[in-house]
Amino acid sequence: MRYPLTEEERMIQKTARDFARRELAPVAVEANRTGVFPEGIFRKLGDLGFMGITMPEEYGGVNLGNFCLVLALEEISAVCASTGVTMSVHNSLTNWCILKYGSEKLRKRFLPRLASGEMLGAYAITESEAGSDVAAMRLSAVLKGDEYILNGAKILISTGDKAGAIIVFARTDPHGRTKGISAFVVEPSFPGFSVGKVERKMGLKASTTVELVFEDCRVPAENLLGTEGMGMKIALAGLDGGRIGIAAQSLGIAQAALDEALRFTRERKQFATRIIDFQSTRWKIADMATGIEAARLLMYRAAKLRDAGEPCSKEAAMAKLSASGTANRVVYDALQMHGGVGYTEEFLIERLYRDARVTELYEGTSEIQRFVISREVIDDYERMIPD
């Protein structure tokens, strides 16, 4: 896509692309097939600076913004969307949360190790009764002396069994709804913490998705992020960045699918014609490419707003909605272009198709994104019309 990037941005994108091709591609197929988490990759990513992209240098990061983060995430995700989501959650959610709301002590304790990739980050909001309805969460946190005692469980947590720092959202006030939630940094070594069910999923098989169980889990009070009751605010603000990251992951999948479709249809002949020479194929390709570039521009815009410190909830939601929807449409069309062989493991599109589906489900379903977008659009409109 022709888009003005600075020399530095081009170099960052190139390093991500070269790394993805040379280091990640050889292990991606196997890792996704066997469901083995590619542990070693994150240290290598950390060495190159990719695990602390938006973190300040004083904590070991490289202090580049969300724009550079999405450039890198898209390249990594095009080769392995599982690695992409792990890297996205780590950077946009865990790193960001501790940086913005952690005490200096917490920052010093976690950020350098997160930046180097020796420690991975996770983000635990979802519960069995609290998906889109975040405020319905019931994991409780009761202050006892200088510790909070957590009881309950979180489900569908990415990297939950591999992370060294998990941002956990729990209810400190049983009576408040949105105001009674607080955020903590939980380490797996805390007594009472355990990993429950490890999910087997349709896609993103090289990323882990687990249940986290808290049974009188003791979390030091100093691990509270911000103050009690700030949890909802933190969760939603974090998700703005997280959604931009997932947009990048979605676009990586989409671009890879389009490239696969182009490659296949150029070679495959039926009725003495290359599939790519049928007009119906070409129109599909046009729509796929347009959808990708449009979503990418929405993502770039959201990333730049966030980097400028401006509010970007609507824009992040638009980016995620558009990118995830596009990714699912593109993989569908790309698979259709492959015909039957595309359904086999011999072709990449088979994995891309399965990987794409979750992008409309996590970090806020597409319905939630529409909720966020419409609310702000309508609010803006209300503000404009005279009383």
Q: Which residues are tagged catalytic?
A: 363
Question: Minimum Å distance from CB 81 to another protein?
Answer: 17
Is residue 15 within the footprint of another protein (CB under 8 A)?
Answer: yes
Helix (H, G, I), strand (E, B) or coil at 145: coil
Among 63, 103, 151, 194, binds another protein (CB under 8 A): 63
- Residue selected from 62, 135, 142, 143 as contacting another protein according to rule CB under 8 A: 62
Nearer to another protein, 56 or 188 (CB): 56
Report the C-alpha gap between 315 and 299 in whole angstroms: 8
96 lines the binding site for another protein (CB under 8 A): no
How far is the C-alpha of 245 from the C-alpha of 26, rounded, in Å? 24
**138 makes contact with another protein (CB under 8 A):** no
Q: Which is nearer to another protein, 283 or 343 (CB)?
A: 343
Residue 244 tokens, joined: 């931009």
Residues 363 and 242: their CA atoms lie apart, in Å, by 7
* Residue 222: how many other CB atoms lie within 10 Å: 14
Residue count at the site for another protein (CB under 8 A)?
28
Q: Is 382 in the site for another protein (CB under 8 A)?
A: no
Task: Verify binding: residue 10, another protein, rule CB under 8 A.
Answer: yes
Is residue 21 part of the contact set for another protein (CB under 8 A)? no
Residues forming a β-bridge with 153 = 213
| Of the candidates 341, 252, 256, 337, the residue with the CA atom closest to the CA atom of residue 299 | 252
What span, in angstroms and rounded, lies between the C-alpha atoms of 168 and 193? Answer: 11
Single residue of 346, 383, 384, 387 touching another protein by CB under 8 A: 346
Tell me: does residue 310 bind another protein (CB under 8 A). Answer: no
Determine the Cα–Cα distance for residues 29 and 27; give it in Å rounded to an integer.
6
Nearer to another protein, 146 or 346 (CB): 346
> For the window 227-266, what string marks contact with another protein as x by the rule CB under 8 A?
-------------------------------------x--
Of 346 and 387, which CB lies nearer to another protein in the complex structure?
Answer: 346
Contact status: 58 vs another protein (CB under 8 A):
no
Q: Which of 267, 270, 385, 387 binds another protein (CB under 8 A)?
A: 267
Structure tokens at 179: 């105001």
Distances (CA, A) of 101 to 96, 173, 184, 241: 8, 19, 10, 15
Q: Return the number of the residue (105 or 263) whose C-beta is nearest another protein.
A: 263
Task: Evaluate whether 243 touches 251 at the Cβ level (below 8 Å).
Answer: no
Instruction: Choose one: 132-140, 184-192, 317-325, 342-350; the region binding another protein (CB under 8 A).
Output: 342-350
Q: List contacts with another protein (CB under 8 A).
A: 7-8, 10-12, 14-15, 18-19, 29, 47-50, 53, 62-64, 68, 264, 267-268, 341, 344-348
